[in-house]
Amino acid sequence: MERKRRVFPEAFKREVVERVRTSGVPIVRVAEELGLHETVLRRWISRFGGRTAAGSSRRSTSVPSTPSPADLAAENARLKRELHRAEMERDILKKAALIFGGATPLSGHRFAMPCRAADDIRVRPSRRLQAIACRQRMSIAASGR
């Protein structure tokens, strides 16, 4: 038994597409109510320019809209607060390393142990000189206590 292909008038197709757009009922449910396959209904929607309602069973693949300037400003402020807090935590850890760990600041935010670089010949000469100067400062500070 051969199945005969059903043909629907264009007006009917447009009415169904409009129903999907305005009712908010999922495409699957509308297709079941009308005895159609879901892909047929989706094809009609794409052909007649209808947009699916929020009740669509398939997720939208469109690119999300750009955030508003207020949202961007709020996100920027949140990130600045987070950065400030991270910098404060970093500074606290630096001070704790100086107090408890015996580390010394050599250049900016980097720390090195004071004695190792002076004795290691594989260290660049500039670092070796910094370590020697640091060792001298530590001996002066220790003798002054």
Alpha-carbon distance of 37 to 34, in angstroms, equals: 9
Q: Is residue 32 part of a domain?
A: yes
Q: Is residue 112 part of a domain?
A: yes
Q: Is residue 57 part of a domain?
A: no
Short-list 141, 143, 117, 139, CA closest to 130: 117
Q: CA distances (Å), 85 to each of 67, 79, 82, 90, in order?
A: 25, 10, 5, 9
Question: Do residues 22 and 52 lie in contact, with contact meaning Cβ atoms separated by under 8 Å?
Answer: no
Residues 91 and 139 reside in one and the same domain: yes
Q: Is residue 73 part of a domain?
A: no
- Model pTM? 0.34
Alpha-carbon distance of 19 to 22, in angstroms, equals: 5
pLDDT, tens digit only, all 145 positions of the chain:
677 888 889 999 999 888 888 888 888 998 898 888 999 999 999 988 755 444 444 444 445 578 888 888 889 999 999 999 999 999 998 888 888 876 555 545 444 454 554 555 555 666 666 777 777 777 777 776 5
Q: Is residue 20 part of a domain?
A: yes
Q: Is residue 52 part of a domain?
A: no
For the CA atoms of 70, 76, 79, 83, the dihedral, rounded to the nearest 10 degrees, stands at: -150
The residue segments making up the domain with residue 118 are: 84-143
Type of residue found at 22: T
Q: Is residue 41 part of a domain?
A: yes
How many structural domains comprise the chain?
2
Dmax (CA) for the chain in angstroms is 107
